[in-house]
A and B are shown apart, each in its own frame.
Chain A
Amino acid sequence: MSSEQDFKPLVVAFCCNWCSYAGADLAGTSRIQYPPNVRIIRVMCSGRVDPQFILRAFEKGADGVLVAGCHPGDCHYLKGNLYARRRVILLKRLLETIGIEPERLRLEWISASEGGKLAEVIHSFVKELEKLGPNPLKEVVK
């Protein structure tokens, strides 16, 4: 019996190995607090995040998906983060047409030195998801 107040959004975060995951590590070692709603999955590059992964996360009940990569120009593989951005742009357009709020998908650039930014992003994302409510796909029974 969950009322709207106890809704705790679940965020799946894909963090790239070279910047964002290191950023998350820094947030940890610097003891910066951020909401426990997030499940971080390390990928080698944000360009590795296949749109299928994102849809699968939503299908399995994630309320929001965060894709975090290096700042443009800083990608360890030169352009992987740009590929990720294009995919996210197009995927948001698809989500909109299929009835899932595009705000549930976020792309952020977080470098290895930005542990604070990671915490900040997760804070604001969780806050936004609390406003949006649970993922509507959860109620869809196949």
Chain B
Amino acid sequence: MGAVRIACEWLGICSGCEIAILDLHEGILPILEKVEFVHIPVLVDVKEIPEADVGIISGCIENEDNIEVAKEMREKCKIIVALGSCACFGGIPGLRNLYTREEVLEKAYVTTKSTVNPDRVFPRKDVLELQEYVKPLNQVIKVDYYIPGCPPPSDLIGSVLTALLEGKEPQLPTNTVCDECPLQKERKAIPEIRRWCVDGRPEPDKCILEQGFICLGPVTRAGCGAKCPSIGVPCRGCMGPTDRVIDQGAKMISALGSIWMLDEELEIPPEEYDKLAEQLYDPVGMLYRFTLPSSLIPRKIMKK
């Protein structure tokens, strides 16, 4: 049997996921004995996509070209693996779905502080048409396996690739970040929702969520080793929802509902509810940072 042929391709992406593959370090050596990277733009600039056994695609669908490349990869590869949160759920670029395409172009080419463009010149020629909205990969082509993460932990990439090489079904962890998190949990209610760094910093070694900061650990898939919470940074949910969660943000609201506010709330007059809700600053950015395009409401509904 010849070597397994792997083709990588990137779409709307920062290229961090490709670097994560390289980050396997010597872990890549046993894999390299069995595989041949026939197409990998991060290392070798080849224009044509060859036939391959496994296609690894990172990045979201942002423009016309992304769709074409994704479809070509699907035709030429037997198995397609979505690598990284952008390919799996839409990722950080997916937050663009809160604005119209025109607003996005305006921001990028006119109103950013580092831009000087008084004549409002927009690139038109030889520039790929931006799609109206960002989509995850599986809304354009069929995806066989997913490796989430921003970037995906290298050992997770390694384990999925190794499983594929051995002809086994790759398995993702099914538990949550909280299950892996070393911080001390006391099961207590929180009087208010706070913003990390803006309203203070969490005490070390204690559950960040129980100190009032929004930490997406309860609704996010494990596999990262709870890297962020262990150093006092709340989980932002880059690994996406677990198998039992459909919509990461809604599920987090459900979790917050169980611990937010104290028992004297019976006396809170209904007029004050809206003010209380303001404690949740930037709901979409906090709850759907990586998963907006694949959530139940995939974009902002624009008023006509």
- Docked pose: A58 CA to B247 CA in angstroms: 13
Contact of A94 among B253, B257, B258, B303 (CB under 8 A): B253
> When A51-B251, A136-B301, A140-B301 are in contact, do A93 and B260 touch as well, CB less than 8 Å?
no
Give Cα A50–Cα B254 distance, bound, in whole angstroms.
6
Which residues 147-187 in B have Cβ within 8 Å of A in the complex?
Answer: none
* Given the contacts A90-B257, A93-B280, A50 and B250 also touching, CB distance less than 8 Å: yes
Closest to B287 in A: A94
Mask: chain A, 88-103; 1 = CB below 8 Å from B; 0 = not: 0111111001111000
Q: Which of B251, B273, B298 contacts A50 (CB 8 A)?
A: B251
Find out whether the CB atom of B296 lies under 8 angstroms from the CB atom of A56. yes
Question: In chain B, what residue has the closest Cβ to A99?
Answer: B301
Contact pick for B246, options A56, A82, A84, CB 8 Å: A56
Task: Tell me whether A90 and B277 are in contact in the complex, defined as CB-CB below 8 angstroms, given that A52-B246, A140-B301 are known contacts.
Answer: yes
Question: Whole-angstrom distance between the alpha carbons of A37 and B235 in the complex?
Answer: 42
Chain A contact residues: over half helix, strand or loop, or mixed? helix
Which chain A residues (51-66) contact chain B, with CB distance < 8 Å?
A: 51-52, 54-56, 58-59
Contact A94/B283 with A51-B253, A52-B251, A82-B265 known, Cβ cut-off 8 Å: yes
Q: Could you tell me the distance between the alpha carbons of A73 and B283 in the complex, rounded to whole angstroms?
A: 29
- Answer yes or no: A72 CB below 8 A from chain B CBs: yes
Least CB distance from A112 to B in Å reads 20
Nearest-CB residue, chain B, relative to A51: B250
- Which residues of A are found within 8 Å of B222, using beta-carbon distances? none
Number of interface residues of A (CB under 8 A): 30
Closest residue of B by beta carbon distance from A91: B253
The contact of B266 among A50, A54, A73, A140, by CB within 8 Å, is A73
- Chain A contacts of B247 at CB under 8 A? 51-52, 55-56
Which B residues are CB-close (under 8 A) to A136?
Answer: 301
B84: Cβ under 8 A from any A Cβ: no
A86 within 8 A of B: yes
- With an 8 A cutoff between CB atoms, is A83 at the interface? yes
Q: Is the CB of B302 within 8 A of A87?
A: no
| Inter-subunit contact B257/A87 (CB<8 Å) | yes
Interface string of A64-76 (1 = CB under 8 A from B): 0000000011000
| Cross-chain contact B257 with A93 (CB below 8 angstroms) | no
Whether A93 and B283, one on each chain, are in contact in the complex, defined by CB atoms closer than 8 angstroms, is yes
CA distance A136 to B304 in the complex (A): 10
**Contact (A99, B139) CB under 8 Å given A51-B250, A90-B280:** no
Give residues in A with beta carbon < 8 Å to B: 50-52, 54-56, 58-59, 72-73, 82-87, 89-94, 97-100, 136-137, 140, 142
10 contacts between A and B (CB under 8 A): A51-B247, A55-B247, A55-B295, A56-B247, A87-B256, A90-B260, A94-B249, A98-B98, A98-B301, A140-B298
Known: A52-B254, A87-B253. 20 other contacts (CB 8 A): A51-B247, A51-B250, A52-B250, A52-B296, A55-B295, A59-B297, A82-B265, A86-B256, A86-B257, A87-B256, A87-B257, A89-B273, A90-B277, A91-B253, A93-B277, A98-B98, A98-B301, A136-B301, A137-B297, A140-B298
